[in-house]
């Protein structure tokens, strides 16, 4: 961008047109263009498919589901960790125009019950028992109480074989295709639900197909790329930025394991010569912390995506220097925007790639507003980040009031994030509006403090939250993970380290050292849970160095 901005509004380029096909039509085009390219590799099962084979199996499954009674518009739940069957279901439901509903693999009984009922799911495709839960038993309990599922299909069982080991009916599938539109709802993704019950963001072919395509365009994907996807498929990061970015370019989807394992991820990169690697910051931190990191040949990597939560400067620099990911990009977004609305570019200066979330994605608009008045703020002002464009969801499934809270009639989506824009359209996200800590009248955004804590030689990772305080209303508490061999870290020692670098009111009063942070399946840190735990720890007096000096 050459023209400098005055107000905090910017739009992405529109020189490359939006794809106006359905996901099924787009996959057919890719399979015809790159029939012998490898489409999918599942490292755990040691299976792989060419595009010709993958497209054939997708259509076989679509035919099997159709014969079982699945029709366009019907909600089909998918409940599984990452595996090849998940990917097949994603594309097979799109062939039929059925709405695939992503179910969080970590859900417990009450959460499962809520989503099955709220979305009106009639067909549920599930994996077998996993280490943390017995899915078939939980499904049976739901049926005993509600009995609203018409079909239950369990992977690696006869019920799966009944719909998968089928020869595609091209005539029927073609007839279905003629009835579908790219603006039809095709996917429901539930927000993480860290507070209250989750909401189902309803997304169309047009939403997610284009989002995956343009993410891939910015990452300069070609039909020769192999994308290692350790992030969950149940979230946009895996199924859109991973799968759809690959299939819109003839690239390869690579599943390193059913759930994230840093060792298996890097083994997969080396074995299958992956050119791109995805992850949230906590995943990259875990990979960088492997004692045998230097033993892996990561020379095939050139790019990747770090997203899902704020990306620490130090981690980004190490990923570039240590993992050969010179062209790695940062993506920003949310489930409700399919998900990516902003992305750094591979040729951006490193300073921009470690300090911002980039500029607007193609065909996306971004503005920073005053949350009270809705007015667009001047450049450099902190306010609420809003986005508009093809990428914005249709709404929350069957929750019009919740939709109206975040999505206006003018198409602008309120993100709830605090951000500021520079005069070239690059945006820095400084935190969540709900995460802002108000200490004695001072507004404090934890992101700034977390970035500083990463510079401490003993700190591997850090999260900062607000906890109740009688005098100031709220006080700061830092949860930290220490590097191996580091000595005990106290609040007093941290204060000495921060003096002169942080304003006194920004220095955490409490320090809590942990082995790991509570996270969602996607790797996002659950600050709501951290606050609840912190209140209990403070009441019990079980916090390192409650520093009560009068100078605080």
Residue 552 has what pLDDT?
27
Q: Are strands 437-439 and 442-444 parallel, antiparallel or unpaired?
A: antiparallel
> How far apart are alpha carbons 264 and 270 in whole angstroms?
10
Buried b (16+ CB within 10 A) or exposed e, 69-94: ebeeebbbbbbbbbbbbbbbbbbbbb
Please give the model's pTM, rounded to 2 decimal places: 0.85
pLDDT in tens, the chain (552 residues): 446 889 999 999 999 999 999 999 999 999 999 999 999 999 999 999 999 999 999 999 999 999 999 999 999 999 999 999 999 999 999 999 999 999 999 888 988 999 999 999 999 999 998 988 999 999 999 999 999 999 999 999 999 999 999 999 999 999 999 999 999 999 999 986 444 578 999 999 999 999 999 999 999 999 999 999 999 999 999 999 999 999 999 999 999 999 999 999 999 999 999 999 999 888 999 999 999 999 999 999 999 999 877 677 788 889 999 999 999 999 999 999 999 999 999 999 888 888 899 999 999 999 999 988 999 999 999 999 999 999 999 999 999 999 999 999 999 999 999 999 999 999 998 877 778 787 877 778 788 899 889 999 999 999 999 999 888 888 999 999 999 888 788 888 888 999 988 888 889 999 999 999 998 766 778 888 999 999 999 988 766 544 433 222
- Element containing residue 30 per DSSP (H, E): helix 23-33
Q: Cis link prior to 339 (omega < 30° from 0)?
A: yes
Torsion over CA: 145, 148, 153, 157 (sign): positive
Backbone φ, ψ for residue 428 (5° rounding): -110, 120
Cis peptide before 30 (omega within 30 of 0): no
Instruction: Let me know: does 461 contact 481? Beta carbons within 8 Å.
Output: yes
Q: Rounded CA gap, 150 and 190, in Å?
A: 22
pLDDT at position 550: 27
pLDDT at 223: 98
Domains belonging to the chain, first-starting first, are 9-421 (3.40.50.12780), 437-540 (3.30.300.30)
Sheet with 9-11, edge to edge strand ranges: 9-11, 364-369, 383-389, 413-421, 427-432
Other C-beta atoms closer than 10 Å to the C-beta of 251 total: 26
Token pair 């989002």 is found at 211
Q: What per-residue confidence (pLDDT) applies to 192? A: 61
As given in the structure block, the two tokens for residue 119 are 């979305």
**Length of the chain measured in residues:** 552
């Amino acid at each position: 961008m050459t023209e400098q901005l005055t107000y905090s509004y910017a739009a992405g380029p529109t020189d490359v047109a939006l794809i106006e096909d359905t996901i099924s039509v787009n996959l057919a085009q890719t399979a015809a263009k790159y029939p012998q390219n490898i489409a999918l590799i599942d490292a755990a099962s040691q299976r792989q498919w060419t595009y010709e084979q993958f497209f054939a199996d997708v259509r076989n499954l679509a035919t099997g589901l159709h014969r079982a009674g699945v029709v366009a518009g019907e909600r089909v739940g998918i409940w599984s960790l990452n595996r090849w069957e998940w990917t097949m279901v994603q594309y097979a439901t799109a062939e039929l125009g059925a709405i695939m509903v992503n179910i969080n693999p970590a859900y417990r009984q009450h959460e499962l019950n809520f989503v099955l009922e709220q979305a009106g799911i009639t067909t549920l495709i599930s994996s077998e028992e996993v280490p943390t839960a017995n899915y078939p038993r939980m499904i049976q309990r739901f049926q005993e109480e509600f009995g609203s599922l018409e079909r239950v299909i369990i992977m690696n069982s006869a019920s799966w074989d009944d719909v998968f080991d089928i020869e595609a009916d091209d005539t029927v599938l073609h007839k279905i295709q003629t009835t579908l539109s790219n603006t039809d709802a095709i996917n429901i993704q539930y927000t993480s639900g860290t507070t209250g019950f989750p909401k189902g963001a309803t997304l169309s072919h047009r939403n997610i197909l284009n989002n995956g395509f343009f993410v891939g365009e910015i990452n300069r994907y070609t039909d020769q790329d192999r994308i290692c996807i350790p992030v969950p498929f149940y979230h946009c990061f895996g199924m859109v930025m991973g799968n759809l970015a690959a299939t819109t370019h003839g690239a390869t989807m690579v599943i390193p394991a059913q759930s994230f394992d840093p060792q298996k991820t890097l083994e997969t990169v080396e074995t299958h010569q992956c050119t791109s690697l995805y992850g949230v910051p906590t995943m990259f931190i875990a990979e960088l912390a492997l004692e045998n990191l230097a033993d892996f040949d990561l020379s095939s990597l050139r790019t990747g995506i770090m997203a899902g939560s704020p990306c620490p400067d130090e981690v980004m620099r190490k990923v570039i220097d240590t993992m050969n990911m010179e062209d790695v990009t940062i993506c920003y977004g949310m489930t409700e925007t399919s998900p990516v609305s902003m992305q750094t570019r591979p040729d951006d200066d490193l300073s921009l790639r470690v300090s911002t979330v980039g500029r607007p994605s193609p065909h996306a608009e971004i503005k920073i507003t005053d949350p009270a008045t809705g007015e667009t703020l001047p450049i450099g002002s902190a306010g609420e980040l809003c986005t508009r464009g093809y990428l914005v969801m249709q709404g929350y499934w069957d929750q019009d009031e919740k939709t109206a809270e975040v999505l206006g009639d003018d198409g602008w989506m309120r993100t709830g994030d605090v951000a500021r824009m520079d005069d070239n359209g690059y945006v820095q996200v400084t935190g969540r509006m709900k995460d802002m800590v108000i200490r004695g009248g001072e507004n404090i955004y934890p992101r700034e403090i977390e970035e500083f804590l990463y510079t401490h030689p003993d700190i591997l990772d850090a999260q900062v939250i607000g906890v109740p305080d009688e005098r100031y209303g709220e006080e700061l508490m830092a949860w930290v993970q220490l590097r191996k061999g580091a000595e005990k870290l106290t609040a007093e020692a941290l204060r000495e380290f921060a003096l002169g670098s942080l304003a006194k009111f920004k220095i955490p009063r409490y320090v809590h050292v942990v082995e790991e942070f509570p996270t969602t399946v996607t790797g996002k840190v659950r600050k709501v849970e951290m606050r609840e735990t912190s209140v209990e720890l403070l009441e019990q007096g079980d916090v390192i160095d409650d520093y009560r000096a009068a100078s605080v």
